Amino acid sequence: MFSDYSMSELTAIFAMQGFAGLILFSVFVLMALGLAIIFGQMGVINMAHGEFMILGAYVTYLLSNFFEAYLPALFSIYFFIAMALAFVVSGALGMFVEWAMIRHLYKRPLDTLLATWGLSLILQQVYRSVFGAREVGVTIPDWMIGSLPLTDMIEIPINGIFVMVLAVGISVAVYVMMYRSRWGQQVRAINNNRVMADAVGINTAWTDRMTFAIGCGVAGVAGSAFTMIGSTGPTAGQLYIVDTFLVVVFGGAGSLLGTIASAFSISQAQSILEFFLSGSMAKVLTLLTVVGILMLRPQGLFAMKLRK
């Protein structure tokens, strides 16, 4: 298929295609980080993860309207405020959900799956009642739209760069939080041995709540960022759920690095396949490969081998 093109054209395309893969990678990382915290560290299956993301998107939508109407001068930077607010709002909802629901279910992971699925239905209906069934259009500041021409032929989407920077930033933040802070130590201690953690004076209830809230908050930020590249509607969250879970599981639950590595491999596979095959078949092949590998290596790519 490439015989008709000049060398420079091909270079340009491959560069951009590589970039497309990186954007997809960043999207996967953003989707999966919140879940990796919640599922990996707490063992909770949050099927409402997508709805937490959409909550962040709606926050962004409301804020964009607010700034357009009352603070047009600051419109160009509203997006940062929106992301911060999305974190707070989704996190607060997460905190409430943990308190009302999740904390009663820590010993029944499959039941958290059903309960959070119920939660996702409720949230969808709430969004529909509040914001209407239609998708809402989120206005993005002008500077975030468009592309940077690197050469004559290579153009890099600005929102792609933004998503990538954000993915790196949040990954680093989460890494620091989980592996370099006292709080992260506590979370991991609880994950390893809840009773012991309790006994040595870690406030497990509070730590659980914060972990869940932060996971949801990160989802909210992801949702906020995705208003640049995707749709915001009551049921849009469901589009993400299968991909997100596969990324986390494929990476090996409990391993942040694994999640990132798995996001990288899945995104590259999908992006390359999409380039050479039709979109649907690329998707099917990617999913099949992931499921196939998971069957061969159920603990995921990066799970540690532990004494049982």
> How many residues of this chain interact with other proteins, rule: CB under 8 A?
92
- For position 298 contacting other proteins by CB under 8 A, the verdict is yes
DSSP string for residues in 172-229 = HHHHIIIIISHHHHHHHHHHH-HHHHHHTT--HHHHHHHHHHHHHHHHHHHHHHHTTT
Q: Is the dihedral of CA 34, 37, 40, 46 positive or negative?
A: negative
Choosing from 32, 249, 260, 301, the residue that interacts with other proteins (CB under 8 A) is: 249
Query: HSE (CB half, 13 Å, CA atoms) of 8?
Result: 4
Q: Which two tokens stand for residue 107?
A: 């010993």
- Which residue lies nearer to other proteins by CB, 137 or 169? 137
Closest separation in Å from C-beta 186 to other proteins: 23
Give the C-alpha separation, 137 to 191, whole Å: 40
- For position 197 contacting other proteins by CB under 8 A, the verdict is no
Within residues 23-42, the interface with other proteins by CB under 8 A covers 23-24, 27
Within residues 58-77, the interface with other proteins by CB under 8 A covers none
- Which residue lies nearer to other proteins by CB, 188 or 283? 283
Choosing from 168, 176, 196, 291, the residue that interacts with other proteins (CB under 8 A) is: 291
- For position 125 contacting other proteins by CB under 8 A, the verdict is yes
- Which residue lies nearer to other proteins by CB, 4 or 182? 4
Closest separation in Å from C-beta 173 to other proteins: 24
Element (H, E) at 239: helix 238-251
Choosing from 160, 184, 223, 258, the residue that interacts with other proteins (CB under 8 A) is: 160
Burial 167-194 (b: 16+ CB within 10 A, else e): beebbeebeeebeeeeebebbebbeeee
- Which residue lies nearer to other proteins by CB, 173 or 288? 288
